[in-house]
Structure 1
């Protein structure tokens, strides 16, 4: 089975899969179809920070690779000013996930490179999944043709999770890791720790290691001890 290529990313976190994404089911269904080759439309995921964009793109690449397809994830922010060479390395793939279009907006050479790659990929049948903090119409792009191409993709808007959804996300991630969490511990964590979802998920990784080392269930006393709260 082929594995995802991850240029300009250290490693795809193992829990960035569709099964751990909690939110509106429509984006998952559409992206699964792209990942497995049952749809060839492009997709554009947009939403503010911590809304799950990168999670969905990494999950899409993971799902495609599990289906035996050639898939790649590209972090555009790390390629600003040299995007053409990086995209050339993705030629011939089945799916490419391009994260952070807003990071190269305004860089004309990068925009031209992305426009050219988009056209070649679509002509070859390669599925493209984009992500940015705003929809194409709101991005500070200098190339109208690129804006037009991106706007033709299926738009998948996301919103920042509210408190109830944050709890559901944490529960899903904890269950995936096999973490035993008391209900009171969930309430305590959401009240006392930064509510940014990315920070909370990073905290789960820390708690996972500490719980495994101590062979203890995650309770409020354990949280106080580990997090010094």
Structure 2
């Protein structure tokens, strides 16, 4: 693996968002966080393939893994595969020297043979070098359109964690947790109003909470149903 740069637009290193942590992930699958902790702490631990539909928390856990790894004194790298599409080999070569790597969104390069070959080569070199790797994708290896059989085979050997979409109670927990971390108070009436009158997509709801946080600070008002009506 060579240490060539890949340009500033691919964020191999970033300040991991403070609300993207293991302790802020709502309703993880049983045993999932323990497996991720082991991936951080033990060189040679079982690699993990994290699968789930859009907005089920894959990126949250990938970023949390990297943040936790660095807290343990291990050098971590997060790579969104959509940003590396078309030049995956160059992007992966830049990961030399890291201990823990999270490759987020494999479906972004599915069907691009050169990118798939580059990922296959990286997988083999990373195994030999003793790296710990987390993959994420919107489906299982055989279901995301990969054209390289050897790559599918390698990915299928990883420990698999499946993420399911949250129901309304889960969305309510996420919003309440994110609000508390911002010092906001969202009562049940405000939560119910948001969940019944706005986009139910979790990512959109969290983005909306950021907007409400700014509006609440500017107006010096609590987030109540009348305030929500006036803002939204």
TM-score, L = length of structure 2? 0.90
Distance 1:62 1:35 in 2: 10
Deviations 1:62-120 (A, max 9, x none): 11111111101101111111000110000121111001101101111111110111111
Deviates more, 1:29-38 or 1:173-182: 29-38
Backbone CA RMSD of aligned residues: 1.7
Distance 1:173 1:26 in 2: 23
Match in the other structure for 1:8? 10
| 94 and 38 in structure 1: CA distance in 2 versus 1, 3 angstrom threshold | closer
Consecutive unaligned residues of structure 2, counting only runs of 5 or more, are 1-7
Aligned length: 222
Q: CA deviation at 1:152?
A: 0.8
Q: CA deviation at 1:181?
A: 1.1
SS at match of 1:225: helix
Q: CA deviation at 1:169?
A: 1.4
Check conservation: 1:7, 1:74, Cα contact below 8 A: no
Consecutive unaligned residues of structure 1, counting only runs of 5 or more, are 1-5
Distance 1:187 1:134 in 2: 31
Q: CA deviation at 1:58?
A: 0.7
2:134 paired residue among 112, 129, 132: 129
Deviates more, 1:117-126 or 1:28-37: 28-37
1:19-168 aligned within 5 A: 19-23=23-27, 24-37=29-42, 40-168=45-173
Q: CA deviation at 1:37?
A: 3.0
Check conservation: 2:44, 2:131, Cα contact below 8 A: no
Deviations 1:142-198 (A, max 9, x none): 111111111111101111111111111111211222211111100111111100001
Distance 1:189 1:131 in 2: 29
Q: Is 2:194 the counterpart of 1:183? A: no
Distance 1:175 1:25 in 2: 25
Q: Where has structure 1 moved over 6 Å in runs of 4 or more?
A: none
Check conservation: 1:211, 1:217, Cα contact below 8 A: yes
Deviations 1:33-81 (A, max 9, x none): 2123376211011111111111110111111111111101101111111
Q: CA deviation at 1:132?
A: 0.5
| 80 and 218 in structure 1: CA distance in 2 versus 1, 3 angstrom threshold | same
Distance 1:25 1:171 in 2: 22
Q: CA deviation at 1:139?
A: 2.3
SS at match of 1:216: coil
Distance 2:183 2:128 in 1: 43
| 92 and 34 in structure 1: CA distance in 2 versus 1, 3 angstrom threshold | same
Distance 1:181 1:40 in 2: 40
TM-score, L = length of structure 1? 0.91
